[in-house]
Each structure stands twice: as C-alpha cells, then as structure tokens.
Amino acid sequence: MIASVPPADESAGTEQLRLIRPDDWHLHLRDNELLAAVLPATARCFARAIVMPNLKPPVTTVAAAAAYREWILAALPASSDFQPLMTLYLTEATPVGEIEAAVHSGFVHGIKYYPAGATTNSENGVRDIRRVYPVLAAMEKHGLPLLLHGEVTDPEVDIFDREAVFIERILTPVLADFPGLKVVLEHITTAEAADFVRGHSQRLAATITVHHLLHNRNALFQGGIRPHHYCLPVLKRERHRQALVAAATSGAPEFFLGTDSAPHPRGQKESACGCAGIYSAPAAIELYAEVFAAANALDRLEAFASRNGPRFYGLPENTDHIRLVRRPWTMPESLNLAGDRLVPLRAGESVAWSCLPDPD
C-alpha cells in the first residue's frame, strides 16, 4: 500500500507518497556513450529493469547478455545498487539449447520477440512464428517468459490496426498452442489489447508506458510534426488512451510499469527518416504519478509500479523505498550527449512530482 509520510523540511505542506522502490519492466539502455548518458536517469529511482536486447548486433546469446550486463554494471555510479535483468533477442536461428542456458544463467529473465521490421533494430526478428515453435516449447518447459512486441508488419495492415491484428493472428494461436507459456504483451496501446489481457490474466500480462498513458495520437501533430512523440507502437486515439489509464489504475495484477524509454540522439529523431522511440526515463515515475493522481488512483500506483511486475516474474519485491513529492520542476529542453543532444519527454515543460530517496 502507498502510505503518506510526514512532510520533509524542504517540502513542508506538500503532498508526499512513500512507495516500495519500483522496477521498470521494459527499458532500452543502448550501449557505449548513449548507455553511460541514460543509465543514471533510470537508476536514480528504479531498482531493476528488464533491458531490451535490440543492440547492433543484437543480444542473441547468454554469453552476449553476460557481456552486456557487465557493460551496464560498469557504467553505474559506485554507490548504485541498480540491477539489470537481461533478455535475449529471439531469431529464427535461436537454438533450443540457448533457452536452458538462459534459465541456468540466473540473469536472463525473458526472451524478446520482435516481428522483423517492426521497430528500431528489429531487422533480425521473426518472420514466421512457427519457425520458433521449438524454442517456445523450451521456454514453456522452463518457465521463461516470452516478451512480445505486439504488432504485425504486413504493409496492407493499417499502422493503427497492427496491434489488434497481431492479437488475432499471432498471440491467440501462441496461447492456444503453448498453454503453459508465460507471456508479456509489451507496451499495449489499445482498449482491445487491455481487454484481451484481462481475459487471459492467469498467464498473460502487459506493460504500459507512461507516454501512452499521457498522450493520444494528436500529440504527433500539435504545432507541426513532433518527432519526439513518434514511437512504435504509435500513439492511438483518445478512447484507447483512456482505456489504458483505466487498466493501469485498476490495481489488476496483470498490468505493470514498463516505460519503453528509448533514447535516440536528436539528430536521429529530427531527420528525414526519424527513428521511433520516446525517452521518458528522466521523469518516468514522476509522470506515472501525474497519471494516477489525475485518475484519483494514487493508492494504486504502488501495485502497478512495485508489486505486480515482481509477482509475474517470480522475483521478490524490493525492500527499500522512494518518496514522491508533489513539487513541480521544469524538464530541460535537451540533455547532454557527446556530439549531440537528447530530447526527453516533457522537454521544456513542468513536471508535477519529484522523486527523492526515502530517508529511512
């Protein structure tokens, strides 16, 4: 449960919440200079994160995941106890034996399915789901979750219908063919997806991003084309945004926090072929608090942010806490990156809440 705490001296009279330290169940950290630049934004408030494997080259083996994990740990400040939870990138050439190795590794917590061509660095993804059925059978046997980017990429399917068609063509048969497989439908964007997850909640969960909770597709075009609001899956109609807010704030255990924070240098976003991804990490938990406050559901934020994810993944809840204080601050217009800049979600605008360490 969320509990109010006495006001700190520096914020007397402001509303405060004390939360079990949350986790991010869908995060992009990239590598090299970008990794070093963005990692502190997540580690400041989150204890753990499921780290996406779509690097170049992709993280397809346990050995590659171990190396990537070491890069992440080496980039952390010495005082940080943040833990990356690694994933493998599923390809049609993934050997069944890699699944057993992943389970025994102790640090690989899921296998990520990208439809080939669906999003950033997904060209090595799956074209025919049945070609990976032996791998899915091994995952079912060993209890390793399948993490789905839930879109089809057929050019005849409207971009706003890709998620619904994926549920019909791919997800429904997979659930039928592998009744013991644990599945996360990542970054859901539609009312139909939320309803589907509710209907299969014993073995299917969903992450919900803060940008899909805050924005509908109008945000892509307000005052001109807004490339920093372009993501995949793309923002949807207002009725879908409202359905996602209802799902996230419901307290239902099948929904939990996954930012899909995806940093791209400004030069790559503001280009003739701007890449997909929204960088939300610098204010992620604060913006989720805004959503829950607007829905009069702050008492359910802890379940969504701190309890439901660990329960699904079979991990313990964190034992430390954070404070959220209703104290506004202004997000910078952009953030430093060697040779370029990063433009975060809510750039140049006010954020209503602040994340602080818990004094206890």
Q: What is the pLDDT of residues 256-299, one digit of tens each?
A: 999 999 999 999 999 988 899 999 999 999 999 999 999 999 99
Domain contains 345: no
Euclidean distance between CA atoms 83 and 11, whole angstroms: 30
Residue 206 has pLDDT above 60, yes or no: yes
User: Is there a binding annotation on residue 200?
Assistant: no
Mind giving me the DSSP string for 44-67?
Answer: TT-SEEEEP---SS---SHHHHHH
- Least confident range of 119-128, 297-306, 323-332: 119-128
- 122-139: pLDDT as tens digits: 678 899 999 999 999 999
Number of domains in the chain: 1
% pLDDT > 90, the chain: 88
- 83-117: pLDDT as tens digits: 999 999 999 999 999 999 999 999 999 999 999 87
Euclidean distance between CA atoms 353 and 30, whole angstroms: 27
Q: Which residues are catalytic?
A: 260
Residue 93: which domain range?
21-320
Residue 6 has pLDDT above 70, yes or no: no
Domain contains 327: no
User: Is there a binding annotation on residue 182?
Assistant: no
CATH number (domain holding residue 64): 3.20.20.140
Euclidean distance between CA atoms 123 and 318, whole angstroms: 36
The enclosing H or E element of 88 equals strand 83-89
User: Is there a binding annotation on residue 30?
Assistant: yes
Domain contains 16: no
Q: What is the pLDDT of residue 9?
A: 41
User: Is there a binding annotation on residue 260?
Assistant: yes
Q: What is the pLDDT of residue 117?
A: 74
Domain contains 353: no
- 209-241: pLDDT as tens digits: 999 999 999 999 999 999 999 999 999 999 999
User: Is there a binding annotation on residue 281?
Assistant: no
Euclidean distance between CA atoms 189 and 261, whole angstroms: 15
Domain contains 338: no
- 138-173: pLDDT as tens digits: 999 999 999 999 999 999 999 999 999 999 999 999
Domain contains 39: yes
User: Is there a binding annotation on residue 54?
Assistant: yes
Q: What is the pLDDT of residue 14?
A: 78
User: Is there a binding annotation on residue 191?
Assistant: no
- Enter the tokens of residue 106: 């102790």
What are the Cα distances from residue 329, in Å, to 4, 46, 332?
21, 20, 10
Domain contains 155: yes
Contact 89, 54 (CB under 8 A): yes
Domain contains 357: no
